[in-house]
Protein backbone atom coordinates (compact mmCIF):
# COMPACT_ATOMS: atom_id res chain seq x y z
CA UNK A 1 0.00 0.00 0.00
CA UNK A 2 1.34 3.45 -0.90
CA UNK A 3 1.79 6.19 1.67
CA UNK A 4 -1.13 8.61 2.13
CA UNK A 5 -1.99 11.73 4.09
CA UNK A 6 -4.97 14.03 4.54
CA UNK A 7 -5.78 16.75 2.02
CA UNK A 8 -4.25 20.04 3.20
CA UNK A 9 -7.52 21.93 2.78
CA UNK A 10 -8.93 22.83 6.20
CA UNK A 11 -11.47 20.34 7.54
CA UNK A 12 -11.07 17.97 4.57
CA UNK A 13 -10.53 14.39 5.70
CA UNK A 14 -9.88 12.91 2.25
CA UNK A 15 -6.86 10.57 2.14
CA UNK A 16 -4.60 11.20 -0.84
CA UNK A 17 -1.15 10.00 -2.00
CA UNK A 18 1.80 11.71 -0.31
CA UNK A 19 3.02 13.21 -3.59
CA UNK A 20 -0.20 15.28 -3.86
CA UNK A 21 -1.15 18.25 -1.72
CA UNK A 22 -4.93 18.42 -2.18
CA UNK A 23 -7.72 16.01 -3.08
CA UNK A 24 -9.19 16.32 -6.57
CA UNK A 25 -11.99 18.61 -5.36
CA UNK A 26 -9.68 21.09 -3.61
CA UNK A 27 -6.89 20.88 -6.17
CA UNK A 28 -9.15 22.84 -8.55
CA UNK A 29 -9.36 25.70 -6.02
CA UNK A 30 -5.59 25.90 -5.63
CA UNK A 31 -4.53 25.26 -9.22
CA UNK A 32 -4.41 28.92 -10.24
CA UNK A 33 -1.97 29.70 -7.41
CA UNK A 34 0.27 26.68 -7.91
CA UNK A 35 1.19 27.64 -11.48
CA UNK A 36 2.92 30.84 -10.30
CA UNK A 37 6.56 30.31 -9.38
CA UNK A 38 8.18 32.03 -6.41
CA UNK A 39 10.22 34.20 -8.78
CA UNK A 40 7.08 35.30 -10.64
CA UNK A 41 5.31 36.02 -7.34
CA UNK A 42 8.26 38.14 -6.13
CA UNK A 43 8.30 40.02 -9.44
CA UNK A 44 4.56 40.74 -9.11
CA UNK A 45 5.00 42.08 -5.57
CA UNK A 46 7.97 44.18 -6.60
CA UNK A 47 6.02 45.62 -9.52
CA UNK A 48 3.06 46.38 -7.25
CA UNK A 49 5.30 48.07 -4.67
CA UNK A 50 7.02 50.21 -7.33
CA UNK A 51 3.98 51.19 -9.37
CA UNK A 52 0.88 51.19 -7.17
CA UNK A 53 1.94 51.65 -3.55
CA UNK A 54 3.00 55.05 -2.34
CA UNK A 55 6.50 55.41 -0.90
CA UNK A 56 5.29 55.86 2.66
CA UNK A 57 3.25 52.63 2.56
CA UNK A 58 6.11 50.76 0.92
CA UNK A 59 8.49 51.92 3.67
CA UNK A 60 5.99 50.73 6.30
CA UNK A 61 5.57 47.27 4.76
CA UNK A 62 9.32 46.83 4.27
CA UNK A 63 10.09 47.83 7.87
CA UNK A 64 11.50 45.40 10.42
CA UNK A 65 8.76 46.12 12.97
CA UNK A 66 5.95 45.37 10.49
CA UNK A 67 7.59 42.14 9.36
CA UNK A 68 7.89 40.97 12.96
CA UNK A 69 4.23 41.78 13.72
CA UNK A 70 3.11 40.24 10.42
CA UNK A 71 4.96 37.00 11.16
CA UNK A 72 3.46 36.85 14.67
CA UNK A 73 -0.08 37.28 13.31
CA UNK A 74 0.60 34.69 10.60
CA UNK A 75 1.59 32.15 13.26
CA UNK A 76 -1.29 33.17 15.55
CA UNK A 77 -3.80 32.58 12.74
CA UNK A 78 -2.05 29.31 11.81
CA UNK A 79 -1.51 30.41 8.18
CA UNK A 80 -5.24 30.14 7.60
CA UNK A 81 -7.65 32.62 6.03
CA UNK A 82 -9.88 33.93 8.82
CA UNK A 83 -12.88 34.20 6.47
CA UNK A 84 -12.96 31.06 4.32
CA UNK A 85 -10.51 28.80 6.18
CA UNK A 86 -8.19 28.13 3.24
CA UNK A 87 -4.54 27.47 3.95
CA UNK A 88 -2.53 30.50 2.83
CA UNK A 89 0.04 30.19 0.07
CA UNK A 90 1.54 33.60 0.85
CA UNK A 91 1.72 35.78 3.96
CA UNK A 92 -1.23 38.12 3.54
CA UNK A 93 -1.83 39.92 6.81
CA UNK A 94 -4.52 42.57 6.47
CA UNK A 95 -5.55 45.52 8.63
CA UNK A 96 -9.21 45.13 9.61
CA UNK A 97 -9.46 48.92 9.87
CA UNK A 98 -7.42 50.32 6.98
CA UNK A 99 -3.88 51.34 7.87
CA UNK A 100 -4.29 54.81 6.35
CA UNK A 101 -7.11 55.48 8.85
CA UNK A 102 -4.84 54.68 11.82
CA UNK A 103 -2.19 56.75 13.52
CA UNK A 104 1.22 55.80 14.89
CA UNK A 105 1.41 52.57 16.84
CA UNK A 106 -2.22 51.67 16.06
CA UNK A 107 -0.90 50.40 12.74
CA UNK A 108 0.89 47.57 14.58
CA UNK A 109 -2.04 46.57 16.83
CA UNK A 110 -2.40 42.81 16.42
CA UNK A 111 -6.09 42.99 17.40
CA UNK A 112 -6.60 44.91 14.15
CA UNK A 113 -4.75 42.35 11.99
CA UNK A 114 -5.83 39.07 10.45
CA UNK A 115 -4.74 36.64 7.76
CA UNK A 116 -6.71 36.53 4.54
CA UNK A 117 -6.29 34.46 1.39
CA UNK A 118 -5.78 36.33 -1.86
CA UNK A 119 -9.41 36.00 -2.89
CA UNK A 120 -10.85 37.28 0.41
CA UNK A 121 -8.28 40.08 0.55
CA UNK A 122 -9.20 41.22 -2.97
CA UNK A 123 -12.91 41.17 -2.12
CA UNK A 124 -12.31 43.19 1.06
CA UNK A 125 -10.14 45.70 -0.80
CA UNK A 126 -12.83 46.23 -3.46
CA UNK A 127 -15.48 46.67 -0.78
CA UNK A 128 -13.29 49.23 1.00
CA UNK A 129 -12.71 51.16 -2.22
CA UNK A 130 -16.42 51.29 -3.00
CA UNK A 131 -17.18 52.47 0.56
CA UNK A 132 -14.49 55.16 0.39
CA UNK A 133 -16.18 56.59 -2.70
CA UNK A 134 -19.42 57.15 -0.78
CA UNK A 135 -20.14 60.11 1.49
CA UNK A 136 -18.73 59.63 4.99
CA UNK A 137 -16.97 56.47 3.74
CA UNK A 138 -13.84 56.85 5.87
CA UNK A 139 -15.88 57.16 9.04
CA UNK A 140 -17.92 54.07 8.16
CA UNK A 141 -14.76 52.07 7.44
CA UNK A 142 -13.32 52.96 10.85
CA UNK A 143 -16.27 51.29 12.58
CA UNK A 144 -16.74 48.02 10.69
CA UNK A 145 -16.00 45.08 12.99
CA UNK A 146 -14.18 41.89 12.09
CA UNK A 147 -17.45 39.93 12.32
CA UNK A 148 -19.14 42.33 9.88
CA UNK A 149 -16.23 42.06 7.44
CA UNK A 150 -16.54 38.27 7.54
CA UNK A 151 -20.26 38.57 6.79
CA UNK A 152 -19.74 41.05 3.91
CA UNK A 153 -16.93 39.03 2.32
CA UNK A 154 -18.88 35.76 2.54
CA UNK A 155 -21.93 37.43 0.99
CA UNK A 156 -19.81 38.71 -1.89
CA UNK A 157 -18.24 35.26 -2.35
CA UNK A 158 -21.69 33.64 -2.45
CA UNK A 159 -22.87 36.17 -5.03
CA UNK A 160 -19.79 35.46 -7.19
CA UNK A 161 -20.35 31.71 -6.93
CA UNK A 162 -23.99 32.05 -8.05
CA UNK A 163 -23.00 33.74 -11.31
Nearest Cα neighbor of 26 from 103, 97, 89 is 89
Q: How many C-beta neighbours within 10 Å does residue 26 have?
A: 19
Residue 94, domain member (yes or no): yes
Per-residue pLDDT of the chain (163 residues; tens, 9 = 90+): 578 888 887 677 888 888 888 888 888 777 655 566 778 777 777 777 677 777 888 789 889 999 999 999 999 999 999 999 999 988 999 999 999 899 999 999 999 999 999 889 999 999 999 999 999 999 999 999 999 999 999 999 888 766 5
- Enter the DSSP assignment of 4: E
Kindly state whether residues 103 and 27 are assigned to the same domain: no
How much is the pLDDT for 35? 63
Residue 53, domain member (yes or no): no
Residue 47, domain member (yes or no): no
How much is the pLDDT for 83? 95
How much is the pLDDT for 125? 92
What is the total residue count of the chain?
163
How much is the pLDDT for 32? 58
Kindly state whether residues 70 and 140 are assigned to the same domain: yes
Residue 60, domain member (yes or no): no
Angstrom distance (rounded) from CA 101 to CA 104: 10
**Which structural domain, as residue segments, surrounds residue 19?**
1-35
How much is the pLDDT for 22? 83
The Cα-based distances of 77 to 6, 70, 162 in angstroms read 20, 11, 29
Domain count, the chain: 2
Bridge partners, 15 (sequence order): 6
How much is the pLDDT for 51? 72
Q: Integer distance in angstroms from the first to the last C-alpha of the chain?
A: 42
Angstrom distance (rounded) from CA 66 to CA 36: 26
Residue 31, domain member (yes or no): yes
In order, the DSSP letters of 6-38 are E-SSTT---EEETT-SS-HHHHHHHHHHHTS-H
Residue 6, domain member (yes or no): yes
Kindly state whether residues 31 and 95 are assigned to the same domain: no
Is the pTM higher than 0.75?
no
Q: Report helix angle 55-62 to 64-76, nearest 10.
A: 60
Kindly state whether residues 83 and 157 are assigned to the same domain: yes
How much is the pLDDT for 153? 94
Kindly state whether residues 80 and 154 are assigned to the same domain: yes
Amino acid sequence: MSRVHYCQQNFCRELIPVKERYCSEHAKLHKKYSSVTDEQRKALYKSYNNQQRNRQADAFYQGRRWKKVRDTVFVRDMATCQVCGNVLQTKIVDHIVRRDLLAGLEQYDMNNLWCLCGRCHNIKTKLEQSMLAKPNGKNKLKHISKDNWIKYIKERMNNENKR
